[in-house]
Amino acid sequence: MMRISTKGRYALRIMVDLAQHREDGPVALREISERQKITPKYMESIMALLLRDNLVQSLRGKAGGYQLTRKPSHYHLYEILCTAEGGLAPVHCLSMEENECPVKDTCLTIPVWTGLHQVIEDYLSGISLQTLVDGNGTSCL
């Protein structure tokens, strides 16, 4: 069964929280942790991924915290989930940069997995963080 892990789900919740509080300036990890009911230790590991891919930035000091690096409308769920999950390919052979499967040239199922991957990418790329902030997540269905 293909599932988005808690890491992916929490990354999305963290990004939505940052988008909702964007006008407040940098947001402390503790504040997000309390609002989203995510342990600070687990949040730190997720934030490290988001920082690595430049989806958020960290500001130090008394008024420090985390903030988005761009407008919420410029983030799409596919990018956020790929960062957290390490990719969203439905089968392993599609997750490799170059498919090294020994039967890739004769595999009759690869078009199914390629098509499914494209549907997932298209769907999630069509939903922005702003869409969720605006409460329009259900209109994506």
Rounded CA-CA distance 94/113 in Å is: 8
pLDDT of residue 92: 83
Residue at 1 is within a domain = no
Give Cα 80 distance to the centre of its chain. 2
What are 63-110's pLDDT values in tens digits? 889 999 999 999 999 999 999 999 998 888 888 777 778 887 888 998
Which residues touch 34 (CB under 8 Å, ≥6 apart)? none
Cross-strand pairs, 35: none
More confident residue, 55 or 102: 55
Reply yes or no on whether the pLDDT at 1 is more than 60: no
Tally of domains within the chain: 1
Q: Among candidates 1, 95, 42, which has minimal Cα distance to 13?
A: 42
CATH number at 100 reads 1.10.10.10
Q: Among candidates 76, 81, 75, 80, which has minimal Cα distance to 3?
A: 81
Tell me the residue range of the domain where 103 lies.
6-140
